[in-house]
Amino acid sequence: MVRFDRGAVWAFLLAAGSVTAQAQKKKDTPEFTKQGLLIVNFAPGPGADMRLGRRAADAVRSRVGKFVNKREVDVLDGGDIADQMERAGYNADTVFTLTDVRAIGRYMRADEFVVARVANGPAGPRLTGQLVMFRDEQLRQPLAEVSAPKLDSVAVLFAKSIAAARTQLIHQRRCENALREGSGDRAIAAAKEGVAGYARSTIARTCLVWALRQTKAPSAEVLAVAREILAIDSVNVHALEAGAVALDSLKRRNEAADMWLRLADTDTANMDLALRISYSLFDGGNAKRAEPFVVRVADGHPDDLRLTQQKWRIAYENKSWKHALEAGESMLAHDSAARGDSTFYLRLGTAYHASSLPFKAVETLAHGVSSFPKDGRMYSLYTQYIRAESDTVIPRGLALFPQSADLVALNAKDLRARGKIAESLDATKRAVALDSTMAQGQLMVAQLELELGRPDSALAALRHAAAGGEDSSLVAQFALAKGNALYRAANGTKTSGDFSLAMRFLAFADTIRSTQQSKFLIGAAALGIAQSALTEATKLKDKVESCRLARMGADMVPVARLGLAAGQEMFADAAKQSLEYLDQLDPYVGQEIAAYCGAP
């Protein structure tokens, strides 16, 4: 006979009871928090009484609770809704706008809402509508249209339709949770379960699309699901975007463009969406299809610079020069980033040239060359257009735009190239007068003055350049280079006047930007003045003039010594030799002053 251990039996039964209780508790605990379902007044059809919308909504609301799991969804009370709206000053029969629905939903903490329409048909009342998620109003489920002879009957059918549509939501939430956890396979399985339980599903299918994209499923598979959604809801935003992206990936450009433009039509007031679609069309190789869309949107919103930029980009790509110039000229006026981009000027000049506006092309490129002197592409195209059009384009341009500083400066360059230096100088001065900020304008004036043999006028132009805010390093380099050239020329003539002219340019350069080179050259020029002045003093019969030259030579000796010493590091041998010569010159200076001036 088998004997039982009563203690062991009781322990087993207690343990089994505990497991059963835990399982029952887990079963009784909802997987997700209870969702609030808002059903507001329905919109009455044409000719229907306004009260019909409220009565239909009340009838459906009162019946939905019989068909849904009350532990999963709470149908918000119609009396509470009416009370809140009456407090806000609304009539009980009011058909609410989407803005109103959002406000009510936030106040009553709704998670889902139903928007519907009621109409009286030959067979009795007819109801159509959608179930929409508050957290994403693009997540929506079209509800099957129902009709019946009586309002109560059609309300029951519509309530069942809402309950049936909601069966997908638990699976859709599982899908979204899996996606957040990075488990695409679990998300796909959950979404497919939702679709299997509700064949007309759009919300669960949307999550299926997201999961397929996250797992990098073939584009054809994503497209197939997106098309299933669109067969149920032809303006579903998520499906249109997913389908368009899939078609782009499949290189089916024309179909992709159709899909992107359908998406644009879902919200024509959304400029961010329009901009995103314009980029997608362009990047997907659909610039031709994008142009009429972008031109229409950009022209309708001329103050939105982003759209103008896209119009420019797409029209230029398509060589639609009329639209390109409309956008380009607007950007030139309002887009500081474009004005700081040499490529923009290059393309704008090209667009003008292609539009048979050569004078505008040359003017634009001339400004570009001035603003971006290191851009070889700009200069190459500029010179190409100049060669082709110089005989006619500049006169025509000046006739049309006499106050254009760029064209006047361009005419000055053309005159100089043809050897008409005086006329070029006059034109350059006029260009600078029209635009005092013109880059290197005064430097060109200085160069032309030198070419006409007027160095003092050139130096005055350099002073204007420095005072006018021209790049100080450019002004200093220009003055130093000209001073050095004049110094070399003076070494040939050996006259104190030529050395003095060179020194004025060198001293000016040193005041703008002092360097060892400028100080050394000042010292060298001063030595040249001293040597030549003392030599010239011995050749004159006029003792007063000889005295002046002797004193000038004497005054230059310390200047020469200071400058040469400052340049010893850079010009060691030349400085050493010149300083030794100065030592030998000192006694001779005193002798000449005594001889011609009568005093040591």
- pLDDT digit string (tens) for 18-45? 555 454 544 555 676 788 899 888 888 7
Looking at 166, 198, 228, the residue that finishes a domain is 166
Work out the pLDDT band at 101, boundaries 50, 70, 90: confident
Exposed/middle/buried for residue 204 (C-beta within 10 Å: 0-12, 13-18, 19+): buried
Q: Is 442 domain-assigned?
A: no
In angstroms, the CA 528 to CA 553 distance is 9
Q: Is 371 domain-assigned?
A: no
Q: Which residues contact 512 (CB under 8 A, 6 or more apart)?
A: 466, 472, 475, 476, 479
Matching residue, tokens 């300083």: 579
Alpha helices in 233-304 (DSSP H): 237-249, 253-265, 271-283, 287-300
In angstroms, the CA 315 to CA 435 distance is 32
Q: Is 466 domain-assigned?
A: no
Q: Which residue has the higher pLDDT, 223 or 585?
A: 223
The answer to whether 375 and 344 are in contact (CB under 8 A) is no
The answer to whether 363 and 406 are in contact (CB under 8 A) is yes
Q: Is 20 domain-assigned?
A: no
Looking at 129, 151, 166, the residue that finishes a domain is 166
Amino acid at position 240, single letter: L
Q: What is the pLDDT of residue 2?
A: 43
In angstroms, the CA 591 to CA 556 distance is 16
Looking at 142, 166, 190, the residue that finishes a domain is 166
Max Cα-Cα span within the chain: 160
pLDDT at 89 over 70: no
Number of domains in the chain: 2
In angstroms, the CA 223 to CA 535 distance is 97
Q: Which residues contact 65 (CB under 8 A, 6 or more apart)?
A: 75
Most confident of 96-105, 161-170, 438-447, 524-533: 161-170
Q: Is 561 domain-assigned?
A: yes
Percentage of the residues of the chain whose pLDDT score is greater than 70: 89
pLDDT at 166 over 50: yes
The answer to whether 576 and 561 are in contact (CB under 8 A) is no
Q: What does the DSSP 8-state code read for residue 31? A: S
Model confidence, pTM: 0.62
* Distance set, CA 10 to CA 14, 16, 485, 573, 592 (Å): 6, 10, 116, 114, 137
Q: Which of 356, 415, 416, 362 is nearest to 384 (CA)?
A: 362
Phi-psi label, residue 216: left if phi above 0, alpha if psi -120 to 50, beta otherwise: left
Q: Is 382 domain-assigned?
A: no
Amino acid at position 33, single letter: T
CATH label of the domain that carries residue 47: 3.40.50.10610
Q: Is 103 domain-assigned?
A: yes
Q: Is 109 domain-assigned?
A: yes
The answer to whether 484 and 521 are in contact (CB under 8 A) is yes
Q: In terms of residue numbers, what domain contains 129?
A: 35-166
